[in-house]
Amino acid sequence: MINFGYTVWIVLIPLFLFILIGFFGHKFKPIVSGIIGTSGLFASMAISYFTAYQYFFVLPKVGETFVKVIGFETTWLRFTEKLVIHLGVLLDPISVMMLIVITTVSFMVHLYSIGYMEGEKGYMRFFSFLSLFSFSMLGLVVATNIFQMYIFWELVGVSSYLLIGFYYTKDTAVAASKKAFIVTRFADLGFLIGILLLSFNTGTFDFITLTDPKGAAIAQGSGIMFLGLSTMTWSMIFIFMGGAGKSAMFPLHIWLPDAMEGPTPVSALIHAATMVVAGVYLVARLFPIFHFSAPVALDVVMYVGAFSSIFAAVIACTQFDIKRVLAYSTMSQIGMMMFALGVSGYGEEAGLGFMASMFHLFTHAFFKALLFLGAGAIIHAVHSNYMNEMGGLRKHLPITHITFLIACLAIAGIPPLAGFFSKDEILAASHQKAMWIFILGLIISGLTAFYMFRLYFSIFWGKDQHYHHTPHEAPKVMTIPLMLLSLGAIFAGLLPFSSFVTSDGKPFASHIDMAIAIPAVLVGVIGALTAMVFYRKETNIPEKISGFLGGFYRAAFRKFYIDEIYLFITRKIIFNYVSRPIAWFDRHIVDGSMNGISYVTNEVSGRIKGLQSGQLQTYAWVFVTGAVALALTFIYLWTN
């Protein structure tokens, strides 16, 4: 047996970096923080690769299956005899895969940021927060129990808050960070309630016990019914609510586009490659419970994922801010991962959806991070986020241009790039489940190709705009990560993914089904070609089409007014009709009655005080009236 104790350093190194840079960063030149942070992440990445090698190739399999290994564990807090929070490192195929993804992308982003953030105020702060994020995200994926996951889940939330609000003197950034935190916090409320329900019913937080298909947690069944659904289903739906919040699923997606106010490397790391897929990871982590004990909840995952995916793809076609297009694209791709999980069965071939979802998560991390970093290089060069203020940039930014094109081809699912393989598996899995979801998947693929190439052609082709100064290519420290990531976007799909990551840990051989691959590629190509016709040269076709679609286009452009609905509920209803009346009620009714009591006391004591006046006449008068009253009372009682 191999000792995996060292894996704890993958998580701890970024924590130390955070403390080191956060407390002592200002003592040195800014660049020192950047270099320390980047080299620390490199160390973390190296250990992760070594772990992956040992886990997949050296560790003996038990009955052809990858086993779950606890690398490290310590008790953090004890609630009851059974409900104990451990902090530890759990290694299984999906967590090892996530370690690779997170450390790789995080390293690339660190490297890129050395150049991108140069000259910014708060350079050290930026790197310390990046390390904090990496620490939290790594802690999340290696969680041995659901409560550890929740702890790190909250921590990634706050790192995201801090990084979105990095430019804290900018009001939009502050508002966006607040929105992101509160919306995800609301979702986490569901997650927490789900955890409470689940742990109460199963008596454990531990993932290994919870997800063992033959274990006690699953064997006990779905529990009693409540409002038409079993308790297990309720708890899984609540837990999924947390996942939907983090992964920006409809209707909790509203924070993600605004989160683009953060620096672009942050968008690449947090809001494209790692944190936003935490929801997918959560469902995958608990997949056996979903499958065996709460199939209804798994259907919810499928519907929410599918709807979010098409919804976001439509909006992405109408936006002009390049980062927002990418944000909606991310939401759409995550939706695909979600419904891939939703359509999946359990065990080997039946678990194709599970494998496909993880595969897409893996490849998506590379090409989406690449797209964002490319977008960063473009914004860096032209100082604008809007694609209608760009054009003809391919001459000025050759490296960015090529890498961006690779990423676009990859996400559009053009073979033999990475996206083709993973998307193909998702479509195959949907095909097994139902025809409608397969067709939906095809439509989304077509839309994806269309909006990505709309972006690509608007930025790099068309007419040269009047820029403030001639755009120039980013420095090497930024282009190198682009080139490295584009290698990932090209080759990541060639991995035999199904021999590593499967729903039950047992490898199987997957293959490309031509009946699915050909239409998938075809819609991708059609989407891309349409975009070429529309946007390669300036034409008036897009205006005509948007005019033709009329109200639908305007609704999509305004993101289907979801933000306005939220604003209405929070500002108008919660603030005005809940919070304000409570504040008023408290000051006037509750406090008023307390003051009223003291007023009455005062008055009464004032009157009573008057009685003891020292005046004989008063006393005599009181005495006589009292005596008469008593006498009358007695007489009355007597006669009755």
Partner 1 sequence: MDILTSFIVIPFLTIAGLVFCKDHKQVKLTAAIGMGIQLILAAVLIILFLRERAAGNMAEMLFVKDLVWFPSLNIHYLIGVDGISVAMIGLTSIVIFAGIFASWEVVELPKEFFIFLILLSSGVFGFFISLDLFTLFLFYEIAVIPMYLLIGIWGTGPREYSAMKLTLMLMGGSALILVGLLGLYFNSNPSGGQLTFSLLAISKVHIPVEIQKFFFPFLFIGFGVLGALFPFHTWSPDGHASAPTAVSMLHAGVLMKLGGYGCFRVAVFLLPEAAHELGWIFIILTTISVIYGAFGAIWQKDLKYINAYSSVSHCGMVLFAILMFNKTAMTGAVLQMISHGIMTALFFALIGMIYGRTHTRYINEMGGLMKVMPFLGVAYVIGGLASLGLPGFSGFVAEMTIFVGAFQNVDAFHRVATIIAVSSIVVTAVYILRVVGILLLGKINNEHYEHLGDAKWYERLSTGVLIFGITAIGMAPLWLSEMINGGLGPIIQRLLMASPIH
Helix (H, G, I), strand (E, B) or coil at 122: coil
How far apart CA 99 and CA 510 sit, in angstroms, is 23
The interface with partner 1 within residues 465-484 (CB under 8 A) comprises: none
Which of residues 174 and 350 has its CB atom nearest to partner 1 in the complex?
A: 174
Which of residues 464 and 586 has its CB atom nearest to partner 1 in the complex?
A: 586
**Token couple for 406:** 């690779």
- Among 470, 540, 598, 612, the residue binding partner 1 under the rule CB under 8 A is 598
Report, in Å, the least distance between residue 182 CB and partner 1.
Answer: 6
Which residues lie across from 69 on neighbouring strands?
A: 91
Q: DSSP letters along 130-168, please?
A: HHHHHHHHHHHHT-SBHHHHHHHHHHHHHHHHHHHTTST
Neighbours of 169 (CB within 10 A): 7
Which of residues 162 and 485 has its CB atom nearest to partner 1 in the complex?
A: 162
**Token couple for 350:** 């039946």
Which of residues 152 and 366 has its CB atom nearest to partner 1 in the complex?
A: 152
The interface with partner 1 within residues 185-214 (CB under 8 A) comprises: 185-186, 188-189, 192-193, 196-197, 199-200
Say how far residue 542 (Cα) sits from the centre of its chain. 32
**What mask of x and - would describe binding to partner 1 in positions 259 to 278, judged by CB under 8 A?**
--------------------
Which of residues 19 and 100 has its CB atom nearest to partner 1 in the complex?
A: 19
How far apart CA 441 and CA 437 sit, in angstroms, is 6
How far apart CA 156 and CA 153 sit, in angstroms, is 5
Report, in Å, the least distance between residue 80 CB and partner 1.
Answer: 5
The interface with partner 1 within residues 21-80 (CB under 8 A) comprises: 75-80
Asked if the bond preceding 416 is cis, omega within 30° of 0, the reply is yes
Say how far residue 23 (Cα) sits from the centre of its chain. 28
Report, in Å, the least distance between residue 601 CB and partner 1.
Answer: 9
Q: Does 583 bind partner 1 (CB under 8 A)?
A: yes
Report, in Å, the least distance between residue 165 CB and partner 1.
Answer: 7
The interface with partner 1 within residues 527-566 (CB under 8 A) comprises: none
The interface with partner 1 within residues 147-166 (CB under 8 A) comprises: 147, 150-152, 154-155, 158, 161, 165
CB 41 within 8 A of CB 110: yes
How far apart CA 107 and CA 483 sit, in angstroms, is 14
Which residues lie across from 206 on neighbouring strands?
A: 145
**What mask of x and - would describe binding to partner 1 in positions 165 to 184, judged by CB under 8 A?**
x--xx-x--xx--x--xx--
How far apart CA 601 and CA 606 sit, in angstroms, is 8
Q: Does 579 bind partner 1 (CB under 8 A)?
A: yes
Report, in Å, the least distance between residue 9 CB and partner 1.
Answer: 18
Give, in order, the Cα–Cα distances in Å from 72 to each of 49, 60, 190, 382, 479. Answer: 18, 19, 29, 48, 37
Residues binding partner 1: number (CB under 8 A): 47
The interface with partner 1 within residues 73-112 (CB under 8 A) comprises: 75-80, 83
Sign of the torsion formed by the C-alpha atoms of 534, 538, 540 and 543: positive
User: Site residues (CB under 8 A) for partner 1?
Assistant: 75-80, 83, 147, 150-152, 154-155, 158, 161, 165, 168-169, 171, 174-175, 178, 181-182, 185-186, 188-189, 192-193, 196-197, 199-200, 575, 578-580, 582-583, 586, 590-591, 593-595, 598
